[in-house]
Amino acid sequence: MIYLHKFFAERYYMTRKSILVALLFATSCFVNSFARDHFGLFLLERAKSLTPTDSIPQFEQMPLGGNTFQAITGEYYTFQIGVMAYDSLSHVHVSFSDLKAKGGLCIPASVMTCFNQEGTDFRGRPFTRDVSIRGGKLQALWVGMDLSDVKAGTYSGSVKFHASGKSKSIPFTV
């Protein structure tokens, strides 16, 4: 009986050790991927709230299914761009491509907006804002798209992130 207990205890320890090594490796890869570009980006569905923090995102927050989102025709769909800034970023700007589907269907970039940089205030007046992210911080940028006049389909395009003279594009599908 003691032998079995020791056997399972060693297996449990080795499994936890393997998980820890895998998490450390994944963390290292994530950090290295944005260190050379001064920032890391990922898209996150609206149901998973990204809390601004001083550390890399928790693994529960990281997207597992790629950059594919499920939306309903006619809704106003929102999602987040997670930005991990290795160095301070200034003049952050988000732009969008048109999202295209088979049969010539298109969601124009004009129906998408990043609420952190532009929108309408509580008095109904349009506003724009210069966004900056301090180095070592994780920041969520909220994006919305009006799908009220969109036909059902699978649309693909990209979101382009610009900051401090650098840019990076991320493909996504709705």
Beta bridge partners of 145: 77, 112
For the segment 163-172, the average pLDDT, to the nearest whole number, is 90
- CA–CA dist 32, 86 (Å, integer): 10
For the segment 136-148, the average pLDDT, to the nearest whole number, is 91
Single pTM value for the model: 0.73
Looking at the chain, the whole-number percentage of residues with pLDDT higher than 70 is: 68
Per-residue confidence at 35, pLDDT binned at 50, 70, 90?
low
Helix (H) or strand (E) holding 30: helix 2-35
Q: pLDDT at position 64, please? A: 45
Q: pLDDT at position 38, please? A: 74
Q: In residues, how long is the chain?
A: 174
Measure the N-to-C terminal CA separation of the chain; round to a whole number of Å. 55
For the segment 28-48, the average pLDDT, to the nearest whole number, is 68
Query: Which amino acid would we find at residue 59?
Result: F
pLDDT of 158 > 60? The answer is yes
Q: The tokens 């149901």 sit on which residue?
A: 47
Q: pLDDT at position 98, please? A: 97
Per-residue pLDDT of 71-129, as tens digits, reads 999 999 999 998 888 889 999 999 999 999 999 999 999 999 999 999 888 899 999 99
- Mean model confidence pLDDT for the chain: 79
39-45 vs 131-133, strand pairing mode: unpaired
Per-residue pLDDT of 54-65, as tens digits, reads 555 554 444 444
Q: pLDDT at position 7, please? A: 45
142 vs 31, more confident? 142
